[in-house]
């Protein structure tokens, strides 16, 4: 008779053993999302040596179709950054297999906890966050990552095609667009920043839905070579416009955070209007492009 309590305790312990053995980043996302705040600060101090040769954006060349930088005298369009941070989602993409990611600043700024989602109700905790003070960009660090994609070494030009990947409204999607010029964007609210951005005209979406773009922020835009040419940070549903960060802002974020400068082999081969949706699905399957969850408190 005295064996029954001992046996019951043993069975209960075995039931909880899988979660106890899993690393913290592999456990299920809790219902209330309670996890510790990501470590503040940068990945590398300004006086530290960057691990790799810094990626540099291509030089801007003049001529027909060239993309001139916006003048400081040009009026900037404004977007509102809510004063109160709420639970939200966004998109991130891998910079390195070690667990370094890039996303938009407004996706993670002010979050108490951030997760890079790896499966339904599962994610890896962001351990460290670098916020670019002068652009809508952030670099995240987790334990373990995914295959990365290289940044472009080609000059951007008006009329070229771009392919945006991410999770608008939390749903996987791909968008084909055309580059139409550069603008200046003013973020107003919880933080105030004026920065150069690249404007794209929305052309095709897969799935074919013309709802809002919330959730695709932080996702990459690629050119036809399969290299990254920007990070999606804003959009205008009414005008059919998508705005991405300038390449100079990306280079500054990589340098100041000490993040890896070169992507790996996450995407190889050309992208076009026939295969871009399949390319997006493959990038999400590999977790090169991933959903980000922000818990405000």
We report the CATH number of the domain holding residue 152 as 2.40.10.120
The 3-state DSSP class for residue 68 equals: coil
pLDDT of residue 152: 93
Residue 4 lies in a domain: no
Within a domain: 176: yes
Residue 67 domain-assigned (yes or no):
no
Determine the pLDDT at residue 62.
58
Question: What's the confidence (pLDDT) of residue 66?
Answer: 66
Chunk the chain into consecutive blocks of 10 residues (it has 297) and report each block's average pLDDT, rounded to whole numbers.
42 36 37 42 45 71 66 80 92 94 96 94 94 96 92 94 95 96 94 95 87 88 96 88 95 90 61 96 96 93
Q: Which domain holds residue 96?
A: 77-295
Within a domain: residue 19? no
User: Would you say residue 148 lies in a domain?
Assistant: yes
pLDDT number for residue 177: 97
Is 56 part of any domain? no
Domain annotation covers residue 173: yes
Q: Is residue 17 part of a domain?
A: no
User: What's the pLDDT score for residue 21?
Assistant: 30
Q: Are 291 and 186 in contact (CB under 8 A)?
A: no
Q: How many domains does the chain have?
A: 1
- Per DSSP (E only), the strands in the chain are 77-81, 88-96, 100-103, 113-119, 122-125, 128-131, 138-141, 161-166, 173-189, 193-206, 220-222, 228-236, 241-245, 289-295
């Amino acid at each position: 008779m005295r064996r029954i309590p001992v046996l019951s305790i043993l069975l209960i312990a075995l039931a909880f053993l899988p979660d106890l053995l899993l690393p913290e980043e592999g456990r299920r996302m809790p219902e209330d999302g309670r996890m510790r705040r990501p470590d503040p600060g940068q990945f590398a101090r300004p006086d530290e040596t960057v691990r790799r040769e810094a990626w540099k954006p291509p030089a801007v060349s003049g001529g027909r179709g060239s993309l001139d930088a916006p003048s400081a005298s040009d009026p900037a369009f404004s977007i509102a950054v809510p004063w109160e941070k709420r639970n939200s989602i966004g998109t991130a993409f891998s910079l390195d297999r070690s667990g370094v990611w890039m996303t938009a600043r407004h996706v993670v700024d002010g979050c108490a906890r951030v997760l890079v989602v790896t499966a339904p109700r599962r994610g890896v905790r962001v351990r460290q966050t670098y916020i670019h003070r002068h652009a809508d960009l952030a670099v995240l660090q987790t334990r373990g990552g995914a295959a990365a994609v290289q940044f472009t070494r080609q000059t951007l030009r008006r009329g070229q095609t771009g392919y945006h990947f991410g999770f608008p409204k939390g749903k996987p999607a791909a968008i084909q667009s055309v580059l139409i010029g550069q603008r200046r964007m003013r973020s107003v609210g919880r933080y105030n920043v004026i920065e150069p951005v690249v404007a794209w005209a929305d052309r095709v979406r897969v799935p074919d839905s013309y709802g809002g773009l919330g959730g695709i922020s932080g996702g990459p835009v690629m050119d036809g070579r399969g290299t990254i040419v920007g990070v999606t940070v804003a959009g205008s549903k009414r005008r059919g416009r998508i705005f991405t960060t300038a390449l100079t802002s990306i280079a500054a974020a990589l340098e100041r955070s000490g993040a890896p400068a070169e992507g790996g082999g996450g995407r190889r081969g050309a992208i076009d209007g026939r295969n871009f949706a399949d390319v997006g699905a493959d990038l999400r399957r590999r977790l090169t492009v991933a959903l980000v969850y922000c818990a405000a408190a």
